[in-house]
Amino acid sequence: MKRNTLVVTAVLLILAAFAWAGWANWEYRMQAAERLRASAAQGELVLDAGDVPQYVSPLQGNPAPPFTLEDLSGKKVSLADFKGRALAINFWATWCAPCKVETPWLIDLRSRYGAQGFEVLAISADDIDRKDPRKFSDEKQEIARFVQRMQMPYPVLIDGDSISDPYGGLDALPTTFFVDRNGTVVAAQLGMTTKDELERNIKKALGIVK
Amino acid sequence: MIAGKTKKRIAIAAALALASALAIGQRPLFDEAPRSAAKPAVVFLYPEQVTVPAGKPTKIDLHFRVAPGLHINSHTPNERELIPATFSIPAGSGVRLEGAVYPPGTDFTLPLDPSTKLSVYSGEFILQARIVATPGDHLVEATLRYQACDSNACMPPKTITAAIDVIGK
């Protein structure tokens, strides 16, 4: 009887240990899956009909995530303020050389398509330290210098990092989302492409081409 | 007294429970592989350990490697906004950085804008640090701050640790 009790206890203990191991492993996998789902918002490169890699964002076909950020004067600017307009939401940074190359193209395309209801919203991803007022002021000045030198005529917002998650993490710059008049993301570009590609996506946002 | 039949049932139940527990643990919950593994653009290669005369400035060569297809700004980028590669040693580590000699950058032109010439490091590069160590064994967590790009896009600035065991004798 005693021996049988010991055997049953040992079996139960072993079962409990295995069950715990299984549960712990399952829990770990759940967490990994969560992380994976979060990273899946980052989009991917796929080949189009002409075998050209195209960045496909999971935001495409969905409403552009809402945000409110400050411009360089401290004024709050919301995505909702641009309701009814076609937008290029361009994430950039002063330290990003390809962003600098792309900027004159955006300026030119805005002047060409602005009358049709197109606007560029440039969102700087430069580091911002709000805790240190002096540093914050210096950082803003650095961005302002760049904006002035590049003669960027469109709204420039700061602290893009604070909205990076809903926009897929912004692991690389420039990243641009093209939004139609209804607020839906119709195209996205990761990295610098060509001016023609920018124009094609602007036309998509304006509904000129599909 | 447990009968032989009962023992057999317990054994079968145990085997089934074990199999279930393992199956639950192994079941994939998300079919896709991760899209972007967060690998650093730059890795510190060596040395892992150096022995230097205590209290005397000594030059050591530090080897780093930039991932294929990427480059980082050199220590002297051509434009003021670009973030230079910068090596440092934290204070209080028993080792002081007296200076660093960075390799010259190589020219890099963006394919979509031939007029932009950048000064970059790619592949393996060596920077020479002049250090002064106090006597003893110091595990130094030196850092390299850099900003990496490929031909069309840039990643945010990053700081990596170069762990070096510095023995001051």
**pLDDT means over runs of 10, chain B (169 residues):** 60 58 45 50 96 97 96 95 97 96 96 90 98 97 97 95 97
Task: Give the pLDDT of residue B158.
Answer: 95
Rounded Cα gap, residues B142 and B158, in angstroms: 14
> Rounded to two decimals, what is the model's pTM?
0.76
- Omega of the bond leading into B68 within 30 degrees of 0 (cis): no
Beta carbons of B27 and A29 less than 8 Å apart: yes
Q: Please state whether beta strands B58-66 and B124-133 pair in parallel, antiparallel, or not at all (unpaired).
A: antiparallel
**Does the beta carbon of A129 lie under 8 angstroms from any beta carbon of chain B?**
no
Task: Give the pLDDT of residue A4.
Answer: 75
Q: Please state whether beta strands A175-179 and B49-52 pair in parallel, antiparallel, or not at all (unpaired).
A: unpaired
Task: Tell me what percent of the residues of chain A surpass a pLDDT of 70.
Answer: 82
Task: Give the pLDDT of residue B15.
Answer: 60
What was the ipTM of the complex prediction?
0.74
Count CB atoms within 10 A of the CB of residue B67: 16
Task: Give the pLDDT of residue B38.
Answer: 62
Chain B residue with the nearest C-alpha to that of A175: B153
Q: How far is B114 from chain A (nearest CA, A)?
A: 10
- Omega of the bond leading into B47 within 30 degrees of 0 (cis): yes
Q: Tell me which residue of B23, B24, B109, B121 sits closest to B63, measured CA to CA.
A: B121
Task: Give the pLDDT of residue A26.
Answer: 60
Interface of A with B in 150-179 (CB under 8 A): 171-175
Q: How far is A47 from chain B (nearest CA, A)?
A: 16
Tell me: the pLDDT tens digits for A6-50? 777 877 887 777 777 766 666 655 554 444 444 434 555 454 555
Quick one: three-class SS letters along chain B?
CCCHHHHHHHHHHHHHHHHHHHHHHHCCCCCCCCCCCCCCCEEEEECCEEEECCCCCEEEEEEEEECCCCEEECCCCCCCCCCCCEEECCCCCCEEEEEEECCCCEEEEECCEEEEEEEEECCEEEEEEEEEECCEEEEEEEEEEECEECCCCECCCEEEEEEEEEEEC
**Residue ranges of chain A with per-residue pLDDT less than 50:** 32-41, 45, 47
**Got the DSSP string for A62-81?**
SBPPP-EEEBTTS-EEEGGG
The number of residues making up chain A comes to 210
Task: Give the pLDDT of residue B27.
Answer: 42
Chain A residue with the nearest C-alpha to that of B32: A36
Chain A residue with the nearest C-alpha to that of B112: A194
